[in-house]
Amino acid sequence: MELILIKDVEKLGYADDVVKVRPGFGLNYLIPQGFAVTKNDGSMAQLAGRTKAREKREAKLLEQFNEISARLTSAPVKIAAKVGTTGKIFGSVSAYHVAEAIKNQLQVEVDRRKITIVEGEVKNLGTYTAEVGLGQSHKVTVTFEVTAEAAPAE
């Protein structure tokens, strides 16, 4: 069964993609939840109109993506974490922490769900990299440094 996705569906595709799925998945989940519509002549015409409009929008957004990516790659983002006596941090640094640091230090709003830490879990001090998705096909590699949090003055 071929469907046109209306919204992004994780592990399946992005909005406006034509995907082939099993009939049960399409009829019982994707269509009732509003994630997809059946592929026919009318929906293909609507897809062509949406694609043309999206291309115009993306041309305007490309300049903004370039400016944001320049800001993200300009300097490493610093993340302060509580550290034990052995140099390991308490807990781990996650995509949420990276997104908050980018927001606070570079004034760029980034969706934490579109951040992938390349090294996996970050449990030690040091410099790491993460991929930040700015759109469907735009990814920027960001360097962040995990440092020891300053002890509170007594």
pLDDT in tens, 45-81: 998 998 898 888 878 877 778 788 888 888 788 888 8
Superfamily of domain 72-148: Ribosomal protein L9, C-terminal domain (3.10.430.100)
Adjacent-strand bridge partners of 79? 146
What is the third-level CATH fold of 2-65? Ribosomal Protein L9; domain 1 (3.40.5)
- Domain layout of the chain by residue ranges: 2-65, 72-148
C-alpha angle 14-137-39 in degrees, rounded to nearest 5: 25
Cα-flanking dihedrals φ and ψ of residue 147, to 5°? -120, 165
| Each residue's pLDDT tens digit, 15-50 | 889 999 999 999 999 999 999 999 999 999 998 998
| Each residue's pLDDT tens digit, 110-125 | 888 888 888 878 888 8
Residue with token string 């406006």: 16
Distance CA 9, CA 16 (A): 11
Which of 101, 144, 139, 142 lies closest to 122 in space, CA to CA? 144
pTM summary value: 0.60
